[in-house]
Amino acid sequence: MKLRKQRGETISNAQFGFLLALPALLIFSFIVLYPFVNSLFMSLFDRSLIYPTQEFVGFDNFRRVISDPNFTGVIRNTVIFVFGTTAVSFILGFIWALILNQGYRGSEFFRGVTLCAWIIPGAAIAFLWMWIFHGQYGVLNYVLRSIGVLERNYTWLGSRQFAMLAVILARGWQAMPWFMLLLLGGLKGISFDQVEAARIDGAGNIRVLWNVVLPGMRQIISVTLLIGIIMSLQHFDIIWVMTQGGPARGTTTFSIEVYRNAFQNYHLGRAAAVGAIWSAILSVFVVMNLRARAQEE
């Protein structure tokens, strides 16, 4: 099929499709592609926010980043945060999706209420969880003292282990509605006849879940987990508001490290190098996500 112009000339379907996609490609180039390529070039220069001059240093920024003794801690914290938040979000979202999938009265209302947590700004969620974990007047301390678990208040966000647990729970609670929505859609796709056949054969709830529901949702689960990992790898606001990467860099992830290098230490080149390493790790999961979607289709 070809489309005719006013002068009688023709354009192919591919050319017409390119013209339709051109505005989106231009917006993508200016907003995403150009900043990304510019940051890659920036990682090769010794550039600062304070001084206007810059000096080409090649891969020296990468060498300094990798040789930094704190860099292994950044990788460890990022891995713990990403897989911790993904696990919390998936488990809570899947349990809640199973409950809402029963179709009882009011399930649609609770589904809508649950999605409210997803649209609340991350900073507001961070302040909510800071109030829960506050060392002086936090809800958690009050409850634990009331039941006799604690004798005095504990500064949860002042501990490396508990600070990481706090930001994982906060981010997991924020992302849970998104996981719930996708997993609920996957549950709707499970054949009711298969479930009934399994129950007739004497299968209980656990066996139905393990042998019927999970195999039928394999593709949607893999895609959901991969997208959740990608989102957590890019996460910044909740960690920064709650702990600013502390205490003692205990919650410093790649996003926090980039921000610190760029806007606190003013080393744009080093921040760009961290960002390039961060992007390389992120691209692995992006490729895995694309392959999982291709298999699903």
Domain boundaries, the chain: 1-30, 43-296
Question: For residue 235, what is the enclosing H or E element?
Answer: none
Residue 101 has what pLDDT? 86
In order of 93, 112, 238, the CA distances from 118 in angstroms are 12, 10, 13
What would the mean pLDDT of 209-234 be, rounded to a whole number?
88
Just give the CATH number of 43-296.
1.10.3720.10
What would the mean pLDDT of 249-255 be, rounded to a whole number?
94
Residue 118 has what pLDDT? 83
Q: How confident is the model at residue 113 (pLDDT cuts 50, 70, 90)?
A: confident
Write the burial class of residue 67 (CB in 10 Å: 0-12 exposed, 13-18 middle, 19+ buried).
exposed
Residue 44 has what pLDDT? 92
Q: For the segment 14-46, what is each residue's pLDDT rounded down to a tens digit?
A: 788 888 888 888 998 888 888 888 888 999 999
Asked if pLDDT for residue 116 goes beyond 70, the answer is: yes
Percent of the chain with pLDDT over 70: 96
Query: Please, what is the end-to-end C-alpha distance for the chain in angstroms?
Result: 26
Residue 140 has what pLDDT? 93
Whether pTM > 0.95 for this model: the answer is no
Residue 129 has what pLDDT? 95
Q: How confident is the model at residue 137 (pLDDT cuts 50, 70, 90)?
A: confident
Q: Which two tokens stand for residue 192?
A: 């009711």
Q: For the segment 160-195, what is each residue's pLDDT rounded down to a tens digit?
A: 889 999 999 999 999 999 999 999 988 888 877 777
User: What is the C-alpha separation between 220 and 179, in angstroms, rounded?
Assistant: 10
User: What is the C-alpha separation between 26 and 165, in angstroms, rounded?
Assistant: 42
Q: What angle is formed at CA 85 by the lines to CA 83 and CA 91, rounded to 5 degrees?
A: 95
Query: Which pairs with CB-CB distance under 8 Å and at least 24 residues apart come from 60-64?
Result: 61/269, 61/270, 61/272, 61/273, 62/273, 62/276, 62/277, 64/270, 64/273
Torsion of CA 192, 194, 198, 201, to 10 degrees: 110
